[in-house]
Amino acid sequence: MATLTETQANLANDPLSADIADKAKKHLVQPWPAAGSVGEDLRTILRASDGILVYDEHGNPLIDGPAGMWCVNIGHRRKDMVEAISSQLMDMTYSSPWYTTAGATAELAARIAGHAPGDLEHVFFTTGGSTAVETALRFAQFFNNALGRPEKKLIVSRGDAYHGSTYLSGSVSGKARDKNWMDQAGDKAVFLSSPNTYRRPDGQTEDQFCDHLIAEFEAKIAEIGADKIAAYIAEPVLASGGVIMPPKGYVQAMHAVCQAHDILYISDEVVTAFGRLGHVFASRDEFGIEPDMITFAKGVTSGYFPLGGVVISKALFERIREAGNGDALFAHGYTYSSHPAGCAAGMKNLDILEDEHILETVRDETGPYFQQQLKTLEDLPLVGEVRGVGLMACVECVADRENRSALEVDYAIGTRIDVHCQALGLLVRPIINMCVMSPPLTITKSEIDQMVSILREGISRTMDDLRKEGVWNG
C-alpha cells in the first residue's frame, strides 16, 4: 500500500483526474441529479482517504465532515478492516442466503441482537438503508396479512423524514422538495408534521409543541381508524431533514400512542446506530423506547461494504404463530442479503468500536465537545440555529434570522459555504440552507476545533459574498 504522502504527491501530478472528470460528466448519473445537469454535472473528485481525511484530485486534504454519507464511522483506510473483508472473501466469497448459511452472517446477527433493546432478536440483512426500510415496511404489511387483518396497512410518517429511495421507502419520506417530480405510493402513506422545534408555531413553548404533535397523531388515528394503520416509521433524529431534534419527551410519547393502538413502531436508525450518538442503537439508550423493529445500515460496516438490515421483535413472530399462520411466507429477500463479506465487515466494525472505546468517547467527550464548539457559531448573523446530538449536527443558516423565513437567497447558502470550506480544507454536506456535519467517530477534540474554525471562516466568507452581491445586509 502506498503511504499517504506518496499518494498525495502522485495525485498532484496525475493526469487521470482530467480523464475521470471527462468520463463522469459524459456518462455518470449520480444521485439526485437535476435533469438538465446530466451530461454536464461534475462533483468534487476524491482520489484517496485516510482517517478523518479525504483527498481531492490535486492531493489536497479535506476533513470528511459528513463521514461520506453519515457512514465512515471508524474512519477511512483501516487496514484491519480491509483485511477482515479480504480474508472472508478468500475463505468464502459468497453464499446464497436462500438455501445456505454463512458463519459470519449468523455471528453478526447474534451480535446485533445482543445489542438491540427488548426482545428484538431476529435480524434480516439487506443491502443498505433503503432496502432495510423497504423490508421493515413490507414486514409490517405481511404481519397484518398473517394476522388476518389485511385492511391494516397504512404507514404513518412525518414531514422532513428521509427513509430511502426505493418506491415504498421513498413514498414514506417526507421532504417536500423530493416529491415534486416523483411518483409516490400515495395510498400507502400518511404524514404528520415534522417535529422541528426551530420552526414550531410562534408563541408555542417546546412542551406545548410536543403536546400539539402528539395530539395531531391521535387525531389522525381517530380520523383514519387504528384498524387501518400498520406502522409508524420515524428516525429518532431526522438526519437528512437537517438533524432535526424532536422536542423532549416526544419519542416516548409517540411510542406510547403506537402501543395503545397496536401500531408497529419502526425506528429508522440507519444514521443513528453504530455509534453516531455514542450507542450501538439509540432507540432505548438515548430515547428510552423499545420499538417493534429497528432498521440499520451505513455505520454497521462503517461504509467499507454495503450492508443494512432490520432487527425484528420476537413477539411479532409469536403473534403470527399464535394466529395459526406459522406457514405464512414472507416472500422477500435480496441476492446480497447478508453478504458474508459485509457481515465480516460488521463483525470487525463492532470489534473496533468496542476495543477502542469509541462509543464511550463519543458519548462522554467528543460528542458533547462537538456540540458545544459548533454552538459558538450562533454568534454569526447568518446562523439561525446550531443543533444536534453526539457526532451529528446541523448549522442552519437563514438570511432573515428574526422571522426564520426562507428567502430566495437561502436556497444556495449551504452550497456557497461548502465551496468556501472545501477551499479551506473541509468537506461539508450542504442541504439547501443547512450544513450537516457527521464526521468519523474517531475525530479528536483538536480536529473538531479545526473543523469549527474552517466552518466559521466559510460562513464569514459567504456573508461577505452576499453583502457584496447586495442580496443580504445582515
Ligand X SMILES: Cc1ncc(COP(=O)(O)O)c(C=O)c1O
Q: For residue 352, what is its C-alpha cell?
A: 473496533
**In angstroms, what is the minimal distance from the CB of 218 to ligand X?**
25
Closest CA to 242 of 128, 385, 379: 385
Give the residue with the Cβ less far from ligand X, 238 or 253: 238
**In angstroms, what is the minimal distance from the CB of 335 to ligand X?**
16
**In angstroms, what is the minimal distance from the CB of 460 to ligand X?**
29
Give the residue with the Cβ less far from ligand X, 157 or 462: 157
The neighbouring-strand residues paired with 430 are 435
Under 8 Å between Cβ of 230 and 155 = yes
Give the residue with the Cβ less far from ligand X, 51 or 308: 308
The neighbouring-strand residues paired with 299 are none
Closest CA to 448 of 361, 367, 357, 370: 370
Under 8 Å between Cβ of 274 and 386 = no
Under 8 Å between Cβ of 59 and 10 = yes
Q: Which residues bind ligand X (CB under 6 A)?
A: 69, 128-130, 133, 162-165, 235, 239-240, 268, 270-271, 297
Q: How many CA atoms lie within 13 A of 384 on its CB side?
A: 23
Q: Which residues contact 185 (CB under 8 A, 6 or more apart)?
A: 167, 168, 171
**In angstroms, what is the minimal distance from the CB of 177 to ligand X?**
15
Q: For residue 209, what is its C-alpha cell?
A: 409543541
C-alpha torsion angle, residues 109, 308, 371, 355 (rounded to 10): 40
Give the residue with the Cβ less far from ligand X, 168 or 419: 168
SS3 for 293?
strand
Q: Can you spell out the DSSP letters for 75-138?
A: -B--HHHHHHHHHHHHH-----TTT---HHHHHHHHHHHHHSSTTEEEEEEESSHHHHHHHHHH
**In angstroms, what is the minimal distance from the CB of 413 to ligand X?**
21
Under 8 Å between Cβ of 427 and 421 = yes
Q: How large is the C-alpha radius of gyration of the chain?
A: 23
Under 8 Å between Cβ of 279 and 270 = no
Give the residue with the Cβ less far from ligand X, 162 or 274: 162
**In angstroms, what is the minimal distance from the CB of 168 to ligand X?**
12
**In angstroms, what is the minimal distance from the CB of 66 to ligand X?**
10
Handedness of CA 446, 447, 452, 454 (dihedral sign): positive
Closest CA to 139 of 158, 124, 128: 124
- Beta strands 434-437 and 429-431, pairing class: antiparallel
Q: Closest residue (Cβ) to ligand X?
A: 129
**In angstroms, what is the minimal distance from the CB of 355 to ligand X?**
26
Give the residue with the Cβ less far from ligand X, 62 or 271: 271
**In angstroms, what is the minimal distance from the CB of 235 to ligand X?**
5
**In angstroms, what is the minimal distance from the CB of 129 to ligand X?**
2
**In angstroms, what is the minimal distance from the CB of 250 to ligand X?**
17
Phi then psi for residue 391, to 5 deg, are -105, 45
Q: For residue 242, what is its C-alpha cell?
A: 437537517
Q: Specify the DSSP class assigned to residue 471.
A: S
